């Protein structure tokens, strides 16, 4: 049976998969960026939990990361549309179907990356805070 952490990350990936961009999880970026953009979910860090006793619970603010990449001549508009769609999708279901207490994305810090012989890339890492509790840090 998957852990709460894995279940939540799987749900976040499934949410990203509903967007027009290609959504991957923990993979190496492909050689070509799809026309609608590319999203790669990185598992990130669960961080140090706050602990409550009676009953024993570990409260995490897990920081996952979404790598968002677009390419082409209209990359600024495409990037804006892609990042806005991520925000809209997360805002529509902040508990990821009741699996976590709250999910919240942070603003991206975009960079333009030149590509020799092709259109430049626009990319950013979008941190997503996933708040959840569990009875065991390994379960």
Could you tell me what percentage of the chain is helix, strand and coil, using 3-state DSSP and rounding each to the nearest 5?
25, 40, 35
Digit-coded pLDDT (tens) for 56-67: 999 999 999 999
Tell me which of 29 and 105 has the higher pLDDT.
Answer: 105
Architecture of domain 4-134: 2-Layer Sandwich (3.30)
Largest pairwise CA distance in the chain: 61
pLDDT at 28: 94
Number of H helices, E strands in the chain: 2, 7
Do residues 131 and 121 lie in contact, with contact meaning Cβ atoms separated by under 8 Å? Answer: no
Domains of the chain, by residue range, sit at 4-134
Digit-coded pLDDT (tens) for 44-96: 999 999 999 989 999 999 999 999 999 988 999 999 999 999 999 999 999 99
pLDDT at 72: 87
* pTM (2 d.p.): 0.94
Q: Is the pLDDT of residue 125 over 90?
A: yes
Digit-coded pLDDT (tens) for 19-44: 999 999 999 988 889 999 999 999 99
Do residues 22 and 32 lie in contact, with contact meaning Cβ atoms separated by under 8 Å? Answer: no
């Amino acid at each position: 049976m998957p852990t709460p952490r894995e279940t939540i990350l799987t749900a976040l990936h499934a949410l990203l998969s509903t967007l027009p961009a290609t959504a991957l999880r923990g993979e190496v970026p492909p050689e070509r960026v799809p026309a609608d953009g590319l999203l790669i979910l990185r598992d990130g860090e669960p961080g140090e939990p706050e602990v409550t006793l009676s009953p024993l619970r570990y409260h995490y603010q897990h920081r996952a990361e979404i790598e968002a990449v677009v390419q082409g001549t209209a990359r600024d508009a495409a990037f804006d549309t892609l990042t806005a769609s991520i925000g809209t999708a997360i805002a529509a279901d902040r508990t990821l179907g009741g699996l976590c207490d709250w999910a919240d994305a942070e603003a991206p810090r975009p960079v333009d990356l030149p590509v020799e012989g092709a259109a430049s890339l626009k990319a950013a890492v979008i941190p997503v805070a996933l708040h959840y509790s569990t009875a065991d840090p390994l379960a």
